[in-house]
Amino acid sequence: MKASFHEIAGAISQANRIVILSHVRPDCDAIGSQLALALSLQQLGKEVSAWNEDGLPESYRFLKKSALIHQPPSEAEDFDLAIALDTANQERLGTALRAVRRVNLWINIDHHASNPCYGDLVYIDKIAPATGQIVYEFLLSEGFPLPSAAADAIYAAISTDTGSFRYANVTARTFEIGAELLRSGVNAAAIANKLYESYPKRRVQLLGQILPEVHFDADDQIASMSLTKKTKQQLEIQPDDIDGLIDYVRSVEPVVVAIFFEELPEGKVRISMRSKDDRVDVNKICSEFGGGGHPRAAGARIRGSLEEVRSKVLQRVFHEITKSL
């Protein structure tokens, strides 16, 4: 049963030691949501830790006070309250989950359609385009502090998960929140410059390696690109260097589904999938491979070689497209 903002606020008010967690390979929505909520709760006098298995990605270090986000400690700790943000499956908290030894209450706040509603207090809004938008509405509704660094983090979270307010998940309320944040002092141009115009050189070199190898299938309705472990090692690629690369093939006009395959250690392949048509639900496809997400944006980690995973995923997407379109 969906918890109310008031119930979540009540649980926070009764807790002193709080840990805020997000998923492995965090995107800006995860980091921004964590940071904003942590800064707000700190102003309420709470003892707050903010952990992520991968720590703070290099590309989001420009966010003020972002050094608050750390990798989890090697020794597990006890908390009054644990809050999972933007994490569709509890196991995706990774080592951050294992670093929580004992906790009195779990809160789960998310916007992924595939979230199974784990936790004691659950707030899932599948319509919200970003968890950052939910966090903003929560802070506003309950009269919690919104320091300037938290406002910046929320704006960055919403901007990235909506494709700079371009995707179909954007609502009128999303634009209203953007305006409210700008009136509060957020510098949208400065944040956009850091998010979209400040890439490291190795990202351009990576594009030069993988774009010539893009594959088109199903009369150009499926576009896929692959990243091998060898290329990552050669270019010293960081996880956040890969964010958004799928949009290069997603934006090709005939493409309906874009897929990014990333070879991982230990015989696994990470897939990221995007759909441009509501009739092709990539959340459903990725759920069949143990992943999930949203109808138009989802992912999974699949055991097998890059060639094996590519073959079976492409076959499944081809079947869905021929059946649905």
Q: What is the pLDDT of residues 64-108, one digit of tens each?
A: 999 999 999 999 999 999 999 999 999 999 999 999 999 999 999
pLDDT for res 124: 97
pLDDT for res 63: 98
What is the sign of the dihedral through the CA atoms of 167, 92, 69 and 33? positive
What is the mean pLDDT of the segment spanning 207-219?
96
pLDDT for res 1: 63
Q: What is the pLDDT of residues 244-280, one digit of tens each?
A: 999 999 999 999 999 999 999 989 999 999 999 999 9
- The DSSP-derived string for 122-189 is EEE-TT-S-HHHHHHHHHHHHT----HHHHHHHHHHHHHHTTTTTSTT--HHHHHHHHHHHHTT--HH
**What mean pLDDT, rounded, does the chain reach?**
97
What is the mean pLDDT of the segment spanning 10-15?
98
Domain boundaries for CATH 3.90.1640.10 within the chain: 5-196
Residue 304 has pLDDT above 80, yes or no: yes
Helix locations, the chain, DSSP H: 5-14, 28-43, 95-98, 131-142, 148-161, 172-183, 188-196, 201-210, 229-235, 247-250, 282-288, 306-324
Domain boundaries for CATH 3.10.310.30 within the chain: 201-324
pTM: 0.95
Q: Which CATH superfamily is domain 5-196 in?
A: inorganic pyrophosphatase (n-terminal core) (3.90.1640.10)
Round to whole Å and give the CA distance between 90 and 116.
9
Residues 201-324, CATH architecture: Roll (3.10)
What is the sign of the dihedral through the CA atoms of 219, 221, 227 and 231? positive
